[in-house]
Structure 1
Amino acid sequence: MHYPDSPTPGSYYNGHYVPTSAERTAYQAAHIDAWAKSIKYGYYGIYFFAATIFVGAVVNLYFIWERRRRLAHGSTTSLIVRKAAAFGRWVAYLRLPYAIDRWIAPLYTTGSLAQTMLLAFAFTFCTGWCFGITYWYRPAFWGSSPLGLRSEWLAMAMLPFLFVLAQKRNLIGTFTGTAYEKLQVLHQGVAGLHFYMSLVHTGAMAVRGAREQGLMQSSSYLTGWIALGPLVWLCVASLPVFRSKAYEGFWFLHLFAVIVYLTTLWYHVVDELNSNAYMYATFAVFAYGFTIRMGWLLYRNLTLHTAHIETSSTGALLLTVPTRMRWTPGQHVVLRFPGVRPLESHPFTMALPASSSEEEQQLRFMVLPRDGFTGALARKVVQAGGSTSQRVLIDGPFGESGLTFRAYDSALLLAGGTGIAHVLPIFTDLVAHMKSEQGSRSLCSRVELIWVVRTIGVAEWFIKDIQNAISGLSHQQVVVRIMVTTEENSGSKDGDSIDDVKDADGQEDATNDTSNFRVLNGRPDLASLVHSRSQEWSGRMAVSSCGPASFTSDVCNACANVELNILAGTAKCDELFLSSSLYSW
């Protein structure tokens, strides 16, 4: 950009001396953070991410090795390892109480204490490098603001990792053993840090511009202001209060804004020191994720799938899809119906595990229609008279495997509403191994399933599957309780412990009851339930939870309290592992 009255090197402009290039270089060399050496702050950012991922990968590898060792030899871990694991899990499971989180959720997606601490540490790391070095600005015309350079390179270092965390099939999840939906909190947090550093960079460079020739003094200023536009849109429009209102529309606008941002950012930073390397890495990550996912999508749908959909008596949609795909308990797929909304997709969890047979089997889903995609699907079924068949594209499977539960002595499985789709396959897998004397080994000898529903009609589709699964097993091995919260019963009260709730006949559900399948009225006290089982069961205990936010929050915090009891030596169980999932991410 040309200015007729641009300052001439070696002269004065608006009362400021304008140095020659040699003078500017010599001045910066004599002070910290010379322009050419400022790229080191980008390396510091890379080191931070690399160290974090490395620690996560080492922990993941240890637990994989430990679980395989247990299944192979049934060996125990040392006391110090169990205590260290309990402390780490306490940090990983503890969350804000739902009564507080519900007011924060519209503006910020909170995670566990571990995720919050990691993001807080990253915020402190970036803030410390930017503002802890108090050399923020150079005299007018003596070069870019050191504060602006430090924040610039830290923001650039985040960019490739930001895109990795956004992908369903990503290397960070592979290395750390973390499902993509649980990395979304970190994706959003890193996006916020990238925005924060970009604003610091913009503000520092704006101060420099105001001291010299104005806020549009060069083409880099122009492209910087342009690139800031889509970045502001990406961060503001991604706030939960906006994202949750129209997720399908948000996704397309988000993707479009990402492309615009990368394009404008390229023109802003191209050929500036090693900026190109960060941009190429980001493009490569973007292309890798897109190629891998599209490749699997095409492979998975070489044979077209047909979904058979019907409406239950409660209004829920019951989906059945014949397939030869294999999956593990607790995983989910993303379904796209070209005949309903071809540009939209939605995640659904398989409600039953895959069989070991190579023959065609059934994917089964239970869906409660809401607004958007599921509402449109429900209307399609109603228009067809309550039952229809639709072509469907399957993407997946995704998510953590529930096979890890085989390495624990006992399992407490908790589901709220359609959260049973996540929990039931784990339950079915565990009880099948209790009956079998062949196949993969399982250490689990006790399973308890608690399913909380509003009406018994919601549970009707799965009751026969559950009863067939537990037939032949004793009350000491398997207990199933379906808790109905809206049907009236004078003998039950909301908030009671499940052990105190009465059944429909008014009989106490005592701990010595020999029935291993009961339907009860009332609402279980999840915190008391988790605590009581940790005081009754010995050995290694695993908990799986899936339900609405309040349900999952209560279970997570209850498990965190048990970890403190393990540290204090007051719990009967030696170890507690939690796998939790929400309805939505």
Structure 2
Amino acid sequence: MESSYSLWLLPRHEGHNPTSLDPNDPGNTKADPWAGQAKYARAMAYTCFALIALAALHALARRFLSLPRSFLALSRYFAYKPILPSRQQRRASRRETFLRRAIDVRLPVLGVFIFLTAFMAGFTIWAFIIKPYYRTDSTYGSPPLALRSGMMALGLIPFVFALGSKVNFIAMLTGSSHERLQVFHQWASRFVLFLATVHTIPFMYQPLHEGGVAGLKEYYFAESINITGTVAFAMLFFLVFSSFRSLRNWSYTLWVTVHVIVALVFLAFMFIHCQMELTSWRYLWGAAALYGLSAFLRIIRSLNNSPTFLVCHAQLEAVPGGITRIRLDTTAAWSPGQHVFLRFPTIRPLSNHPFTIVSLASPNGTTPSTMVLMARQRSGLTATLYQRALDCGLTEGKEPGDEEETMGLRSEHSTITVPVVVDGPYGVSASAADFDEVLMVAGGSGITFVVASLLDFAWQWHRTRTERGQKKLSVFWSVKDEECIEWVKDQFEAAQAIIPPQSLQLTIHISRSGTEASPIGPQGEEDGEVDKTFSLAEPRPQQAHEGCDGDGLIVERSNRRANVAFEVQEFVKGISRSGGENNRTKKRAAILVCGPHSMSEVVRAEAANMQLDLLKGRLDQISELKVLSEHFGW
């Protein structure tokens, strides 16, 4: 008997019409027929659209409506609560093996975890609850289980490509940013791989069961659709497993280049594999269109960011502590906390590195702004930039007074200018000027995220002439050594000159033992992620204090890591103490954090516990507590 299989079609044997089989056929071919398989891809797409619409409505409600205090607290509890304890506690409870370090899957927060589990479990149950899984004989058609799982995967592919793009309609509708959607991109990709595996196994099992290894070999090489399906599956497998953080951080620039190429190869082979059957190409064309539109809009935005509509020109300056200060003029407009991707064509044309913007945009919006960024020297592009700045003697031979002020940022005139392509800005605003009490927590070079919000807070204070004592801002920065203070010394001085001392407190924790925090942007870029652990529950050690309390500056020196959880707890207690029993005015509080993943995890865990206190009415002086963080460490 001729053996002819298709991943998407019923076999078309000569003289055999699969749509008019004997109704008494034990194979029950009319159950879940091939012609009705398109409904599974359609259901997947409609479900995703519905979820995006709900998220968009929620974003609109947060922006234009005054939501109840209990609703905000409950939703933020699920948005902040980590699933697993800190990495420090996990290391203490079990020994990490090489496999655990290699895979290193980071679970999302509680709310996202519940959402993803329900989504994936629902479609998995739907795929397996329908019978039959197989036809009685392979001549009656392809296994229904394989067909419906494959169509479900097809329906999800356009959303995977959209979620992985920097410019995408999902971020626009939901008011989010591409880096915050990466968790959905990653887990949706893994779910597509799972569905593709369920799609593949029945096509291998049935010929193996009916004809043994020889039957499987005959089936596999009978049609090219099996070969193209194997290549597409291999590409998808590589995309998913090469994206685990330990492998990705080994060489981030190389990983990005390979990841994009392999994704395009996967999409091309999916076109060949599906052979335009049913509605398969609709979803593939949708994925191609979304990715192509994103790339096109990024090119237009990059050209528009330059005053000459070509490339910008950046000045590089080496700063003590291994920092390269990058200054460039651009027509782009940005908000505090946003970031851009920089590509240096004459230095490393393949590297597209993210940097958080330190300066503020021009307030009038009609003249070009001076964008200031800082790159922590590690390896790869950041090391090349720093070395290039040193070689040109950017910190030597300067005349006194050869400086200029730009939005509170002082920069020496650089002797090197390099072309740069600016892609962005991206990210949501981290402005905390609307809050009454603000705590900004930074680890290492994560201070750049905090500095932008600090300058914005000071600028809004100056513009609105806020009364003394009406608002308070505390900054806690944990660094390795004292020379790191030079990174943002000018910005701190600018903020102190505007905000009264009783409303501003700057605390710098210097660890003598020295454990650095994370780099800017996706933690690890080509450099590998630095994920040092911060104390979660230990009491605050005795520190040596020095500085000028009158200016709101405290410098702590300690041979122990910073206790970030204690700082958050003291911040909330301070709000309660300042309110007093007779003051019934509730204050809006915010916590900004940027640093290693363990630092952000501790802050979010503490904030989640305080959301429960808000629900129970224990924090009477606080109307809401919001956490703003830079979502990297993909």
Separation in structure 2 between the aligned mates of residue 55 and residue 126 of structure 1, nearest angstrom: 19
CA distance in structure 1 between the aligned counterparts of 2:2 and 2:35, rounded to whole angstroms? 28
Q: Structure 1: how far apart are the matches of 2:81 and 2:121?
A: 21
Q: For 2:359, what is the secondary structure of its paired residue? A: coil
Tell me which residue corresponds to 1:429: 456
2:545 aligned with 1:503: yes
Report the counterpart of residue 11 of structure 2 in structure 1. Answer: none
Deviations 1:440-490 (CA, angstroms, capped at 9, x unpaired): x9x9822111111111211213223222222253344222112212289xx
The answer on 1:224 being equivalent to 2:209 is no
Contact 2:319 2:486 in 1 (8 A): no
After superposition, the Cα gap between the structure-2 partners of 1:83 and 1:263, relative to the gap in structure 1 and judged at 3 Å, is same
Aligned partner of 1:577: which letter? K
Superposed displacement of residue 101, structure 1: 6.9
Residue 627 of structure 2 is aligned to residue 578 of structure 1: yes
Structure 2: how far apart are the matches of 1:463 and 1:518? 13
Pair 1:313 & 2:320 matched:
yes
Task: State the shift of 1:437 in Å.
Answer: 2.9
How many pairs were matched up? 550
One-letter code aligned to 2:369: Q
1:265 CA drift (Å)? 0.8
Distance in 1, matches of 2:338 and 2:281, equals 38
CA contact (8 A) 2:73 2:612 kept: yes
- Match of residue 370, structure 1, among 378, 387, 398: 378
Question: Match of 1:330?
Answer: 337
Deviation at 1:557, TM superposition (A): 1.0
| Residue ranges of structure 1 left out of the alignment (5+ in a row) | 8-17, 67-76
| Contact 2:31-2:131 at 8 Å conserved across structures | no
**Matching residue of 2:582:** none
Q: SS in structure 2 opposite 1:351?
A: coil
Corresponding residue for 2:617?
Answer: 569
Structure 1 residue 170 corresponds to structure 2 residue 219: no
Show the counterpart of 2:528: none
User: Where do residues 98-497 of structure 1 align in structure 2 (5 Å cutoff)?
Assistant: 98-99=86-87, 106-107=102-103, 108-140=105-137, 141-210=139-208, 211=210, 214=216, 215-216=219-220, 217-301=222-306, 302=309, 304-357=311-364, 358-385=366-393, 388-403=416-431, 405-437=432-464, 445-486=471-512
Deviates more, 1:230-239 or 1:194-203: 230-239
Mapped partners of 2:227, 2:206: distance in 1: 14
What's the CA shift for 1:117? 2.0
Bigger shift: 374-383 or 85-94? 374-383
Please report the TM-score for the alignment, with normalisation by the length of structure 1.
0.87
Q: 1:29 to 1:378 in 2, by over 3 A?
A: same
- Post-superposition shift, 1:386? 5.0
Q: CA deviation at 1:203?
A: 0.5
Counterpart amino acid of residue 607 in structure 2: C
Match of 1:73 in 2: none
Structure 1 residues 23 and 321, CA gap change in structure 2 (3 angstroms) = same
* Alpha-carbon distance between aligned partners in 2 of 1:135 and 1:437, rounded to the nearest angstrom: 69
Q: Distance in 1 between matches of 2:181 and 2:418?
A: 32
The CA deviation at 1:172 is: 0.7
Secondary structure (helix, strand or coil) at the match of 1:362 reads: strand
TM-score by length of structure 2 reads: 0.80
The equivalent of 2:51 in structure 1 is: 52
> Which residue is 1:83 aligned to?
70
Is 2:32 aligned against 1:33?
A: yes
Equivalent pairs: percent with the same residue?
Answer: 27
Amino acid at match of 2:359: L
Residue deviations 1:265-308 (CA, integer Å, cap 9, x gap):
11111221111211121121121111111111122231532222
Distance 1:229 1:406 in 2: 50
Deviates more, 1:299-308 or 1:93-102: 93-102
Equivalent pair of 1:535/1:573 in contact (CA under 8 Å): no
How far, CA to CA, are the matches of 1:583 and 1:22 in structure 2? 52
Q: Distance in 1 between matches of 2:50 and 2:243?
A: 28
Q: Deviations over 1:9-30 (max 9, x none)?
A: xxxxxxxxx9643444866887
Q: Does the C-alpha gap of structure 1 residues 517 and 429 become closer, same or farther in structure 2, counting only changes over 3 Å?
A: same
- For 2:2 and 2:155, how far apart are their aligned partners in 1? 37
Deviation at 1:31, TM superposition (A): 4.1
Cα distance in structure 1, aligned partners of 2:145 and 2:2:
28
Seen in structure 2, the aligned counterparts of structure 1 residues 382 and 407 have a Cα distance that, compared at 3 Å, is closer
- Give SS of 1:343's match: strand
Q: Please state how far the C-alpha of 1:87 moved relative to its aligned partner.
A: 1.3
Q: Secondary structure at the match of 2:351?
A: coil
- Structure 1 pair 527/134, CA: closer, same or farther in 2 (3 Å)? farther
Q: 1:172 corresponds to which letter in structure 2?
A: I
Q: Give me the whole-angstrom Cα distance separating, in 1, the residues matched to 2:498 and 2:301.
A: 40
Equivalent residue letter for 2:144: P
Partner of 2:10: none
Q: 1:498 to 1:146 in 2, by over 3 A?
A: same
**Matches of 2:492 and 2:172, distance apart in 1:** 33
Distance of 2:161 and 2:22 partners within structure 1: 36
Distance 1:105 1:172 in 2: 32
Range moving further from structure 2, 479-488 or 496-505: 496-505
Q: Which amino acid aligns with 2:629?
A: S
Which amino acid in structure 1 is aligned with residue 140 of structure 2? W
Match of 1:517 in 2: 553
User: What is the SS of the residue equivalent to 2:591?
Assistant: strand
Give the superposition deviation at 1:200.
0.5
Q: Aligned with 2:77: secondary structure?
A: helix
Letter in 1 for 2:545: D
- Which ranges in structure 2 are unaligned for 5 or more consecutive residues? 5-14, 396-415, 515-533, 576-585
Look up the equivalent residue of 1:139 and give its one-letter code: T
Q: Distance in 2 between matches of 1:6 and 1:466?
A: 75
The amino acid that maps onto 2:422 is I
Give yes or no for contact 2:179–2:632 (8 Å, CA) kept in 1.
Answer: no
Look up the match of 1:69: none
Cα RMSD for the two superposed structures = 3.0
The 1:218–1:25 alpha-carbon spacing in structure 2 relative to 1, beyond 3 Å, is farther
Deviations 1:185-240 (A, max 9, x none): 11111110001100100002222333375341433323222322222221222222
